[in-house]
Amino acid sequence: MKFLIKPAIGKINLSFWLLCLCLWFCARPSLASAEVLSLAKAIELAKQASPDILNLSAQAASARAKAAQTWAPTEPTLGVTYQDMNTPYHGFVGDQGSRVYTFTQPVLFPGKSIVNHSVLSNQAKSIQSQMNAMELTVSMNVKAAYFQLAQARENLNLNKETHDFYERIYAIAKRRYESGAITQVDLLNADAALHSNDNDLADLRSAEHIARSQLNILLGNPPTTNFEVESLKMQKRKIPDYETLEKQMIENRHELKAAQYQFEASQSSYRLAKMSLLPDFQFSFGTTYYDVLGTSPLSTSNPDANHTYFAGVQITIPIWFMFDQRQTIISASHDRLAAEANVRSILNQSKVALDTANDVFHTTETKIVNFEEHVLPLIEQALNLAIINYGAGKIDFQTLSDTAANRRNTRQTYLTTIMNYLTAYSNIGQLIGEDL
């Protein structure tokens, strides 16, 4: 009896632990559930993954290093010369009559380094502004893709609601057909409407896949990575009046700053080109040792003198300026005109874009208020009444089907209007140099 009890107890204990393990696995949160990705986190990840931002960041660092390099003096030259040899290069060292040691330091005309530093420094600032603009562009692209994905998900939910409505309509049509209240045509139309909605579902799934792939590429993820996004809801935003926006844009827009810095660099380049007509200098210092006594020029006054010194200066004169420096000046003047015109062009484009975004923002805001206060409640009420009236035989199937389709299209238009509203707000932020 004792031998039979122990194995039974062992089986009970084993079953108990297996049951606990199963309950623990069931209670754990599902690892397959998709993570909710916030918009702020998506923008942060996209900026980290953007090769365009990395490219401009490296260019800006390189430009700053080149600007700092302009303060470095020109490298000097050290030379040694063995001369007055008694045989043609035989032995080279040992049979020379004298040795000459030379130190040469080139020096640019005063002010050229300062102007050159101004050129490269402004170019570095221009690239930095381009990088700041690219960060806002990446943020804008992420918001657009994020909103599109959220809209695609909302459209899928809306399609599911519409599918449920069409199933109710089909069930009503089937009961009325069986009772002889309607013809077979209405029943077939109800069935066709249900299947047509299923065809719309395939297009909506494709749109969701495309929007998710676009956002994943911006985030640096594989295109098929799945995650949840925040629902597309109306979020009331406020912006200043247009005059204030325009002032902020002129002062802060990064694309405009980049063009202005480039114009300032072109002005400095033009000054530097004109300074090329000024001479540069080269200072030389050295000493000569005479290995053969009596060959020194000072030997007449001092027979033991075998060591002399020398110093000199050379001037580079641009005598061929008509063929060289003149063309450089002409080229720099045209570059300056082009940079100035580019500033005006970007300013004009910015004003048009800001006016358009501001108009879209206020127009869509008005539409959304009308949707929420009037259109959406009315279309929901119309659909509910249409289903009831169709069941009672007061309206035909076509009126019911049109009401259901109108409800779906109206809600899709509402979602698109919200997306346009939020996109216009982000676009205004990009134009005034802020990540709104």
Please provide the size of the chain in residues.
436
Q: What is the pLDDT of residues 125-174, one digit of tens each?
A: 999 999 999 999 999 999 999 999 999 999 999 888 888 888 888 888 88
Mean pLDDT confidence for 276-281: 88
How many Cα neighbours within 13 Å face the side chain of 428? 26
Distance, in Å, from the CA atom of 96 to the CA atom of 82, rounded to the nearest integer, reads 6
Calculate the average pLDDT of the chain: 85
Instruction: Taking residues 395-406, report their average pLDDT.
Output: 86
Q: Give 309-345 pLDDT, tens digit per residue.
A: 999 999 988 888 887 888 889 999 999 999 999 999 9
User: Which of 200, 119, 131, 156 is CA-nearest to residue 405?
Assistant: 200
User: Cα 65–71–75 angle (5° rounding)?
Assistant: 105
Could you list the beta-strand ranges (E) of 250-384.
Answer: 280-290, 307-316
pLDDT at 33 over 60: no
Report percent pLDDT > 90 for the chain: 49
pLDDT score of 12: 45
Q: What is the pLDDT of residue 11?
A: 44
Question: What is the pLDDT, as a whole number, of residue 3?
Answer: 41
The dihedral through the CA atoms of 226, 228, 233, 239 has a sign that is negative
Taking residue 83's Cβ as centre, other Cβ atoms within 10 Å add up to 10
pLDDT per residue over 353-385, tens digit each? 999 999 999 999 999 999 999 999 999 999 889
Q: If you ran DSSP here, which 8-state letter would residue 89 be given?
A: S
Count CA within 13 A, CB hemisphere, residue 88: 0
Domain boundaries, the chain: 34-72+108-278+318-431
First to last CA, the chain: 80
Q: Is the pLDDT of residue 35 over 90?
A: no
Q: Give me 132's structure tokens.
A: 């700041």
The answer to whether residue 417 scores a pLDDT higher than 80 is yes
Answer yes or no: is pLDDT of 298 > 60. yes
Of residues 291 and 304, more confidence is placed in 291
Q: What mean pLDDT do residues 41-57 have?
A: 93
Pick one of 1.20.80.10, 1.20.1600.10, 3.40.50.300, 2.60.120.380 as the CATH number of 34-72+108-278+318-431.
1.20.1600.10
Is residue 294's pLDDT more than 60? Answer: yes
Could you read off the pLDDT of 96-139 as tens digits, one per residue?
Answer: 788 899 999 998 888 888 999 999 999 999 999 999 999 999 99
Average pLDDT on 275-280 reads 88
